[in-house]
Amino acid sequence: MKANWVLFFLLLKSIFCFSQIEIEGWVSNTNKEPLFGASVYVDGTTIGTTTDDKGYFKLLLSSSMNSILVVSYFGYTTSYQNIKNESNLLYITLNEEVKALKEVVVQRNQFTRAEMLKLFKEQFLGTNTAGSNCVIENEDELYFDYDKKNFVFKAYADKPLVIKNNYLNYKIQFQLIDFECQFYKLSIKSLDIINALYAGTSFFTEINNDSKYTKRRKKSYEGSSLHFFRNLIAKQWNKKEFLLFEGSFMTSPDTHFEISNQSNALYKIKVAQQKKSAKNNFVAEFSILFNNKEQSKISFFTDTFYVDRFGQFTDYDKIYFSGDITTRKIGDLLPTNYGL
């Protein structure tokens, strides 16, 4: 059975930033003791730092970012801060993590850890060249559960996964929030997946920007969802990039998308209701063709969403991709500030 994918990353109640913002603050524990070396980063970017011996940090954010500030420290619960649209001073208190061992009751089944780990890597990292060249340096942090009654496979990690992408030459800290695969029968094979999703926060560190990796990153970007949404707000459609189809017929995006610039940072997208959508429970569904060869499908279960100039979009859980675009997983993942 061909898999249909839901691919999204965690977006909390984010606030769009409209101008250059300076964020500074202090991180401490509940005893008001400063936490030295706490990780502070903007989700999905290369923008981050660590706190000094006084728990102090400072970041300068680009304008027009739709993201959240993630603050983490070993042994403490992670904090997620909305980024406001003005420079702000933060006092962040982290609570000590209660080690009640987040053990999942793993039912006995015929699947070994090796089989479950293999599935996770296929659906999380990807099976293409980029995904195959990724290494999870702390894969022992992963643990799994398989609901045999509902054919649902889940993965968990209490600590951020450390992923070395040898293809794009990034090191990624990925805090896994959710990972789930739904099968149509009792199986551990990717071919039997109906749908899958993963969610989390990520921070990128560039290892090397040699021209070899620059070309690879460009290749990973082209045809990605980030590329698609940047083109959507720019109203850039052509045969060498994206074309939109309704059914089997090429259609004008202007007929289906009303795009209004709310500011220099934020675009509001209204999706026109399709006649055939009522029985299928979606607002609209299109085929998209990239570079005359990569075929994908996008389904909208919302009639309004927002995109910032980085290509980050809201309503991740109401916009579904399937087809070639979903073969790009963590192995092809780029920082959202890539190229800008």
Going by DSSP bridges, is the β-strand pair 294-300/266-271 parallel, antiparallel, or unpaired?
unpaired
37-41, 149-153, 256-260, 306-310: least confident range? 306-310
Dump pLDDT digits (tens) for 124-137. 999 999 999 999 99
- DSSP designation for 73: -
Higher pLDDT: 104 or 325? It is 325
Work out the burial of residue 78: count CB atoms within 10 Å of its CB; fewer than 13 is exposed, 13-18 middle, 19 or more buried. middle
> Which of these, 218, 210, 299, lies nearest to 256 by C-alpha position?
299
Q: Average pLDDT, stretch 203-231? A: 91
- Does residue 252 surpass a pLDDT of 90? yes
- pLDDT tens per residue, range 78-101: 898 877 665 678 999 999 876 544
CA triple 338-284-235, angle to 5 deg: 40
Give the number of other Cβ atoms within 10 Å of residue 13's Cβ: 7
* Predicted local confidence at residue 273, as pLDDT: 92
Superfamily of domain 21-96: Carboxypeptidase-like, regulatory domain (2.60.40.1120)
Closest alpha carbon to 226 in 136, 292, 290: 290
- Tens-place pLDDT, residues 100-125: 445 454 455 679 999 999 999 999 99
Output the pLDDT for position 268.
Answer: 93
Measured between alpha carbons, how far is 330 from 131 in angstroms, rounded to an integer? 7
Whether pLDDT at 286 is above 80? yes
Q: Where are the domains of the chain?
A: 21-96, 113-206, 222-332
pLDDT of residue 5: 45
When pLDDT is averaged across residues 280-304 and rounded to a whole number, the result is 93
pLDDT at 159: 86
* Contact present, 42 and 69 (Cβ < 8 Å): yes
| Of 277 and 308, the one with more pLDDT | 308
Reduced to 3 states, what is the DSSP secondary structure of residue 70? strand
